[in-house]
Amino acid sequence: MLITMGDVAGIGPEIVAKAWIALCRVCQPIVVGDVSAMRSALQFAAQPACVIAIDDVTHGKPEPRAIPVLQATKRDLSQVIPGKLSAGAGGAAFDFLCTAIDLTLAKQADGIVTLPLNKEGLHAAGLHYPGHTEILAEKTGVRDFGMMLYAPALEPMRNPVGVVHVTLHMAVRDVFANLTADAVFEKIRLVANVMGRLCAKPARVGVCALNPHASDGGIFGDEEARLIAPAVARGQATGIDVRGPIACDAIFMQARAGRFDGIVAIYHDQGHIALKLLAGRALVNVTLGLPIVRTSVAHGTAYDIAGQGVADASSLLEAAEVAVALARC
């Protein structure tokens, strides 16, 4: 499993160092990143370890005391300061990801687990992508894709739940122009497929309403009747166990109680806020619709604590476990 380091000015390298021993119990991890940054992060390792620079991921031999790192950028990162926005770090994070994508497409790895990049860093490097998801879609040549937050079956959740988003990294004012019945149906299909694989049974899917109270019969808008309900009906016609539109303040309570395995959220914060409150650091980011496996931590670069040794590595371990499960099924 390839572990991309993300933005080296953030907490990515520290998290890899902290999680390394446990990662070796989950999979055969190979770090795709910067050798010097990984060596600097060893001060946060749970036990003494060394970094092994490799030039071929198939020759890497991960061990609790040996971290194989593929040098995946030619950018000079010697002046990068933890917690400070850097064009070099932003560009390098892009290089790490593209290298990992190419290797996984070439069947030299079973999947990719990514540490966070910084969108401002990307833009400072002249790379105008909204984030990981859009880069992955472009580089793998897919058009129907989605970002899913996955919460394992931990209290207070009765069962694992995945939330996929119809619209993602865009201004709220742009959501309406990008919301179509086809887009809602596509996300229903994607989340039903992946949650069916992870749960080993047909997935039960709920679809969020856009407006308060699911529009109260059209009083607060017509998107439910005009766009969302037809997509739900189309999903039902294809054999998917899907219900909706359901008011957002009700659907996540139902999911917590075990009613749904997958939820389709209409926009970013509608899904993110609710699931992060329910599952916190156990969340995993999964990209749906790709020809390769990709999972990620469900947090950002955390510049405010970078270099302080206080970052929590639990999301990385969860992400690695989900990546392994997806690769197996």
Task: Tell me the per-residue pLDDT of 133-152, one tens digit each, with 9 for 90 and over.
Answer: 899 999 999 988 888 999 88
Q: What is the mean pLDDT of the chain?
A: 94
pLDDT at 281 over 80: no
Between CA 86 and CA 122 the distance in angstroms is 9
| Mean pLDDT, range 71-79, rounded to an integer | 95
| Mean pLDDT, range 109-125, rounded to an integer | 96
Q: Do domains 1-142 and 144-289 have the same CATH topology?
A: yes
pLDDT at 214 over 90: no
Task: Tell me the per-residue pLDDT of 3-31, one tens digit each, with 9 for 90 and over.
Answer: 999 999 999 999 999 999 999 999 999 99
Predicted pLDDT at 218: 87
Percentage, residues of the chain above pLDDT 90: 82
Predicted pLDDT at 144: 86
Q: Which range has the worst mean pLDDT, 4-13, 61-70, 270-279?
A: 270-279
pLDDT at 111 over 80: yes
Fold of 1-142: Isopropylmalate Dehydrogenase (3.40.718)
CA-CA distances (angstroms) from residue 253 to 165, 247, 261, 267?
A: 18, 11, 13, 18
Predicted pLDDT at 154: 67
Token pair in block for residue 55: 């030039």
* Whether this model's pTM surpasses 0.85: yes
Predicted pLDDT at 216: 86
Percentage, residues of the chain above pLDDT 70: 99
pLDDT at 158 over 80: no
Fold of 144-289: Isopropylmalate Dehydrogenase (3.40.718)
Report domain extents, the chain. 1-142, 144-289
Predicted pLDDT at 180: 96
Q: Which amino acid is at 226?
A: R
Predicted pLDDT at 169: 84
Of residues 4 and 298, which shows the higher confidence score?
Answer: 4
pLDDT at 282 over 90: no
Between CA 224 and CA 231 the distance in angstroms is 10
CA-CA distances (angstroms) from residue 59 to 52, 54, 151, 195?
A: 11, 7, 34, 33
Residue 76 pLDDT level (bands cut at 50, 70, 90): very high
Predicted pLDDT at 117: 95
| Mean pLDDT, range 322-328, rounded to an integer | 93
| Mean pLDDT, range 97-103, rounded to an integer | 98
Task: Tell me the per-residue pLDDT of 119-128, one tens digit each, with 9 for 90 and over.
Answer: 999 999 999 9
Predicted pLDDT at 50: 94
| Mean pLDDT, range 33-44, rounded to an integer | 96
Task: Tell me the per-residue pLDDT of 89-98, one tens digit each, with 9 for 90 and over.
Answer: 999 999 999 9
> Of 212, 194, 227, which is closest to residue 323 (Cα–Cα)?
194
